[in-house]
Structure 1
Amino acid sequence: MKSLLKIAFVFGSMVSLSSCKDDLKPNYQYMPNMYESVAYETYSESDAFNSPTGEKGKEGQIPAQGSIKRGFVPYEYPNTPEALAAIKALNPKSPLDATQVDMKKGEELYGIYCAICHGAEGNGKGKLVTQEKFLGVPSYADRVINEGSVFHVVTYGLNSMGSHANQLSQEERWLVAAYVMQLKSKL
């Protein structure tokens, strides 16, 4: 009985070893693209995102129709001088309540984005003005401004000043506007 088991074991191991490799007929692979991937040329055109209009590679980059980016809150005033005049007349207040207004954060953001031109005190004597890189930056004491108009100007920009809407969130722009009004009251 033991010799029969030994013969069966040797025969079984020979069959299993000989069945694993056949040079004339290679074995099948499960998911061969994982082992031998297709080589693609770097930066070459792809048919992966072809649109029905025929634009190559654009459809996958276009956002879905009607979608808005995360955290976006629409601002109802357009970028026109009439809208700025209307905001100055209406005097809209910040949507942030008193507990959300962090003057230290507003001062920090003002120092990063505004003080280089408008000065640390809001007097229009920032470093770029004293070095005569930009001229005509107004002092907050000479301007008729309110919190809403400051927010509008920071959002869209005015004259030589560009928009800061890409750098600052809506909440951060309201913090800067609150800090600017604090500076104006000190001048």
Structure 2
Amino acid sequence: MKSLKIIIALAVVATSLSSCNDKRKPQVQFMPDMYESVPYNVNGAEGINGKMVNKLPVAGTVSRNGVVAYDIPDTNDGYEKAKAELKNPLPTTEVNLEKGKVLYDIYCASCHGTKGDGNGVLSQRDKFNGIPNYADRELTPGNIYHVIMYGKGVMGSHASQLQYNERWQVVQYVEKLRSELK
């Protein structure tokens, strides 16, 4: 029993002496990969472990393809510049108009109405008042696109919901609605 007490006392002394070593020297790490991660160059030619990482996106996810830079600022001058200079790069086709209608019905019709008259469901329920009629405004493809990108007044931006071509398809459909209102 006496020897057991001596062994325990020696173990306590040895542990306390080993824990009081020089803190300026690097210590032993239990799991070093938890503290220092291995850097991978995901854009490298070899990829990770010799396998390429640039693969097609998973089905059902949003692709980052088709992202086009838009460098006109969100200012009144930017709005006027877009109104004067931006032109729709897509040809006016039945396919583009049909896709524009589908997207308009999803993102725009609840406020602007299915006819573009500003009498959407949210306007009828007095959630938003004063939504303008497309026929009452001077609209160009450029300022419609600019408003989709940045929003205007109470309307927020829809840039994150619509890709580049989809925005222009909505612009084509809005122009069609506007011509039908006149």
TM-score normalised by structure 2 residue count:
0.63
Aligned residue number for residue 69 of structure 2: 74
Structure label with greater radius of gyration: 1
Work out the percentage of aligned pairs sharing the same amino acid: 44
| CA positional deviation for 1:97 | 2.5
Could you tell me which of 148, 155, 162 is aligned with 1:168? Answer: 162
Could you tell me which of 89, 109, 114 is aligned with 1:120? Answer: 114
Q: Within 5 A, what are the aligned runs for 1:16-165?
A: 46-47=34-35, 49=37, 70-90=65-85, 92-99=86-93, 102-165=96-159
| CA positional deviation for 1:75 | 1.1
Structure 1 spans left out of the alignment, 5+ residues = 1-39, 41-45, 51-58, 64-68
Over the aligned positions, Cα root-mean-square deviation in angstroms equals 2.7
Structure 2 spans left out of the alignment, 5+ residues = 1-30, 44-63
| CA positional deviation for 1:111 | 0.3
Question: Aligned partners of 2:166 and 2:179: how far apart in 1?
Answer: 20
| CA positional deviation for 1:142 | 0.9
TM-score normalised by structure 1 residue count:
0.62
| 1:134-162: CA deviation from partner (whole Å, max 9, x where unpaired) | 11111101111111111110011111111
Question: Aligned partners of 1:112 and 1:140: how far apart in 2?
Answer: 18
Q: How many residues align?
A: 129
Closer/same/farther in 2, CA of residues 97 and 182 from structure 1, 3 Å limit = same
RCO comparison, higher one (Cα < 8 Å, 6+):
2
